[in-house]
């Protein structure tokens, strides 16, 4: 009996190892199938004429908004919170158009992987490149904060195609084949790739070289973020862009690529400096925290202005307000200004303090003109 127990233990362990092996094998096959589907869709998108592929993508989105309606509840909730003054019919139309927009831009992104820089320049106009040129003359890097509005991948690629080197911090995908495909596609477009795990040295090296660093600024940052006001509601926002600009002396701007009206896919990419009437009140960590909060609120406000101008081009499917501020959980009233959070942001905490740290207001420049607002 005593001798039999180890045998059962070994047998059980072997079973568990076998189970893990089966799960790993199943995952590998699933990744192969996913990758095969991705390549097939990408090839189809590139083979079809551009306008036809664009219309097919929009049609798929139109259908998805009426049949199945993935995350429709989230879209409805977010549009209701962002535009309470609008009627249910208007919000429903905007929600459906956002599905069509997302799907046609997915097609555009698939086509982007095989597009030359000349073809990309033909389809895009970049406004505000003088900001990048001025920063280059001053020997400064640039932190470009983008959002899930319009076509963010194409917006960054257009900046590169127009002659301004850009690096992006990316997280690895679980599907290694998909991850390699994304990396090759981005490198082919001219992006420099900084893996998230190497952000500490890679970002600093890029900014010191006067390059542009692209970072998304409208994702829920959980408990590590700064709580800003986005459409009047507290939203956890990554502090990374503000901290990077403050510590490196880089210029911080917003990068928004919106699609223009018309059948042919054409885009205008807007590069704009931040405008915020703040100044640090004194030395020490407290004033730096407040400065980071002010910068973060500044780019969040700018993103909101663009979303209000083009609500049908925003990704309402993302749970932007998923993380409640601490005082909500405690049953306390929410203040109306951005508040720092002492928990470190993944990118910001990996960026070292050093003698090159600049005064916080070096990241701010004069205000830019507001985007045109749509009515109706």
For the stretch 228-264, pLDDT in tens is: 999 999 999 999 999 989 888 999 999 999 999 998 9
Q: What is the pLDDT of residue 289?
A: 87
Rg of the chain taking only CA atoms, in angstroms: 23
Q: What is the pLDDT of residue 366?
A: 37
The CA-based diameter of the chain, rounded to the nearest angstrom, is: 83
Separation of alpha carbons 337 and 300, rounded Å: 12
When pLDDT is averaged across residues 132-161 and rounded to a whole number, the result is 95
SS3 content of the chain, % helix, strand, coil (to 5): 55, 15, 35
Separation of alpha carbons 64 and 287, rounded Å: 48
Separation of alpha carbons 353 and 200, rounded Å: 11
Helix (H) or strand (E) holding 214: strand 212-216
What band does 268 get if pLDDT is binned at 50, 70 and 90?
very high
Strand arrangement of the beta sheet that strand 166-170 belongs to: 124-127, 267-273, 251-259, 142-146, 212-216, 166-170, 192-195
| Angle, helix 88-112 to helix 72-82, in steps of 10 degrees | 120
| Angle, helix 240-248 to helix 285-309, in steps of 10 degrees | 120
Separation of alpha carbons 234 and 341, rounded Å: 13
Is the Cβ–Cβ distance between 257 and 359 less than 8 Å?
A: no
- List b or e across 107-118, with b for residues whose CB sees 16 or more CB atoms inside 10 angstroms: bbbbbbbebebe
Q: What is the pLDDT of residue 279?
A: 42
pTM: 0.80
Please, what is the average pLDDT of the chain?
82
Going by the DSSP 8-state scheme, the letter that residue 363 receives in this structure is: G
Q: Is the pLDDT of residue 40 over 80?
A: yes
Helical segments of 209-271, H only = 240-248
CA 292 to chain centroid? 19
When pLDDT is averaged across residues 46-73 and rounded to a whole number, the result is 93
Going by the DSSP 8-state scheme, the letter that residue 314 receives in this structure is: B
Going by the DSSP 8-state scheme, the letter that residue 166 receives in this structure is: E
Going by the DSSP 8-state scheme, the letter that residue 343 receives in this structure is: S
């Amino acid at each position: 009996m005593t001798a039999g127990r180890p045998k059962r233990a070994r047998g059980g362990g072997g079973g568990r190892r076998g189970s893990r092996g089966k799960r790993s094998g199943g995952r590998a096959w699933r990744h192969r199938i996913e990758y095969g589907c991705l390549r097939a869709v990408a090839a189809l998108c590139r083979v079809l004429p551009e306008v036809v592929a664009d219309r097919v993508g929009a049609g798929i989105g139109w259908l998805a908004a009426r049949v199945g309606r993935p995350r429709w509840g989230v879209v409805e909730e977010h549009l209701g919170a962002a535009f309470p003054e609008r009627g249910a019919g208007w919000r429903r139309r905007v929600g459906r158009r956002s599905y069509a927009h997302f799907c046609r831009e997915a097609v555009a992104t698939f086509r982007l992987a095989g597009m030359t820089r000349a073809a990309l320049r033909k389809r895009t106009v970049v406004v505000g490149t003088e900001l990048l040129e001025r920063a280059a003359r001053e020997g400064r890097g640039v932190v470009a904060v983008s959002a899930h509005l319009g076509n963010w991948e194409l917006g960054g690629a257009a900046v590169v195609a127009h002659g301004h080197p850009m690096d992006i911090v990316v997280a690895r995908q679980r599907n290694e084949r998909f991850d390699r495909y994304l990396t090759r596609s981005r490198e082919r477009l001219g992006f420099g790739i900084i893996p998230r795990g190497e952000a500490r040295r890679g970002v600093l090296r890029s900014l010191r070289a006067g390059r542009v660093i692209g970072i998304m600024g409208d994702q829920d940052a959980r408990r590590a973020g700064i709580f800003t006001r986005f459409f009047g509601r507290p939203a956890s926002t990554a502090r990374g862009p503000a901290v990077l600009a403050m510590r490196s002396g880089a210029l911080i701007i917003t990068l928004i690529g919106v699609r223009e009206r018309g059948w042919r896919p054409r885009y205008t990419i807007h590069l704009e400096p931040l405008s915020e009437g703040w100044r640090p009140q004194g030395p020490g960590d407290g004033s730096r925290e407040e400065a980071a909060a002010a910068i973060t609120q500044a780019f969040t406000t700018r993103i909101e202005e663009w979303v209000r101008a083009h609500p049908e081009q925003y990704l309402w499917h993302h749970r932007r307000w998923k993380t409640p501020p601490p005082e909500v959980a405690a049953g306390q009233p929410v203040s109306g200004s951005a508040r720092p959070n002492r928990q470190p942001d993944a990118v910001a905490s990996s960026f070292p303090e050093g003698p090159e740290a600049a005064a916080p207001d070096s990241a701010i420049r004069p205000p830019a003109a507001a985007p045109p607002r749509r009515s109706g």
